[in-house]
Amino acid sequence: MKKIGLLLLLLLPVLGSCQHMNSKTAEIKQIRNMGNASNTAILAAGCFWCVEAPLLLLDGVDTVVSGYIGGHVVNPNYTQVSMGNTGHAEAVLIKFDPSKISYDGLLEAFFLIHDPTQLNRQGNDIGTQYRSAIFPLNDEQEEKARYYIEKLNAEKVYDNPIVTTIENASEFYKAEDYHQNYYALNPNEMYCRLVIKPKMDKFKKVFADKLK
């Protein structure tokens, strides 16, 4: 991967600007109908613990919910999703304040906190449930996502092509409670120390002027 400085230079505002029962939260159709797409985003970038923690640091991000989306099983639980047979991706549903952070800003963070050139995996987390994916909630979000991917590929920011998929936003299911705010509640757990903390340290340096 090439230097992150080039990545951040390219990611300027565009187009105008890891086994229990769980419960269903928001249906994407409801988000559209309620007009909330302007302050909601759904992103998948490997283990949702690794995505939730850094995004919560950003000024303007109000909440980040870990969950499952993009599959064919109704109300899946972590065990089912972890087997890789439900079609779901581990993802996060982000609520943000557009006056403080834009969708572009979230995409910029998204492409920093994971490797979008790894197909159906992030590091040692392997399977379609760990795929890199963006789930647009309206046409504008889809257009921005496609622009970013095309731009990054064209500029060869990464050594390999980006494999991030842009998928239809189906129903989003909130993950079990113990997955929520996982890093903050389990900072000494081995996965957190070895995998998440290095990501957090890098994130804090790159986005120092955009943190809460």
Q: What positions carry a catalytic annotation? A: 47
Q: Give domain status of residue 212, yes or no.
A: no
Model pLDDT, residue 3 = 46
pLDDT of residue 132: 99
pLDDT tier at 76, thresholds 50, 70, 90: very high
Q: Which of 4-13, 144-153, 167-176, 180-189 has the lowest average pLDDT?
A: 4-13
Q: Copy the structure tokens of residue 161.
A: 């092509």
For 157-179, the pLDDT digits (tens) are 999 999 999 999 999 999 999 99
User: Is 22 contained in some domain?
Assistant: yes
CB 107 within 8 A of CB 11: yes
CATH at residue 23 = 3.30.1060.10
pLDDT recorded at residue 7 = 53
CA distances from 187 to 64, 67, 126, 193 (A): 18, 20, 23, 7
Residue 23 inside a domain? The answer is yes
Which range marks the domain in which residue 82 is found? 4-207
Lowest pLDDT segment from 24-38, 42-56, 71-85, 134-148:
24-38
Q: Domain count of the chain?
A: 1
